[in-house]
Structures are given as structure tokens and as C-alpha cells.
Amino acid sequence: MPKEKTLVLIKPDGVLKRHIGEIMNRFERKGLKIIGLKMLNVKIDIAERHYSEHKGKPFYNDLIEYITSGPVVAMALEGIDSIAIVRKLVGSTDGSKAEPGTIRGDFSMSINLNTIHASDSQKSAEYEIPIFFSNGELLDFKMPDEKYM
């Protein structure tokens, strides 16, 4: 099976509640490889590109305000079936409905402050990753345990 790349953003509430390490640990324990990592303040033009599919929707301005309200951790992850695996680990978009044990189920209580973003498809990942990472920022390397993943 081919490896996929996916984008994960730990949103401002996840950063400001000090959940970065535990969230990253969950992905690594699952066997996903972090191939890109940075902390940044998302500027409005980046936020608008990232959420362009929601432009014109009633919640669009709230999305832009939220993602630009504080620091964000951007991660590019790689692994077999990584998009589906990450989505399962992240849980339902609405933290109040997310299963316990998922990232949103454990760290979020609403749809507005839902701690994390994860690409929902290969097409989304291919669009989103270059918004946050330039070509040279994604690393290509082998992990010693990859043959077991």
C-alpha cells in the first residue's frame, strides 16, 4: 500500500491549553511519521487560503478569527492510510460529540474550539500541505521501525 501525506494543525486552543506534546505523541505511538513540523502565527492571507472552501458560509469569519487568534502547530504526517487513521484519532468535528479517547473527545467541548484540524481527503491534503510547508521543508527519511508499521 502506498504511503499518504496529511496535514494536521493543532489550533490555538490546543496550543494554549498545553496539549502539543500529547497530541504529537498519539500520532507517533500510532506509527505515523512526522515529516514536517513548525509553530507559527497564521496570518490572515494564509487562513483565507486554508479555509477558502468555506468562504461565504456564515461561520467563515469565525474560522478566520479563531485560527489567527494565537499560535498554531503545523505537522505534515506520513504513513499508510494516514488520512483515515488521523481522522479516526482526531474524532468528530464537534468536540461535544466526539468519542472519548479521540483528540477532540479528550480535549474539546465544542465545534468552535475543536483543538485540531486534519485533512479530510487526499485532495485536501494535497491542497493544504503546501499552504503551510514549502517543498524543502518536508523531510524524506526512514524510521528504523517502518517495516513493522
Q: Would you name the residues annotated as active-site residues?
A: 117
Pairing type for strands 3-10 and 116-118 reads antiparallel
Q: With contact defined as beta carbons under 8 Å apart, do 16 and 70 qualify?
A: yes
Residue type, 48: E
Who's near 146: CB < 8 A, 6+ residues apart?
33
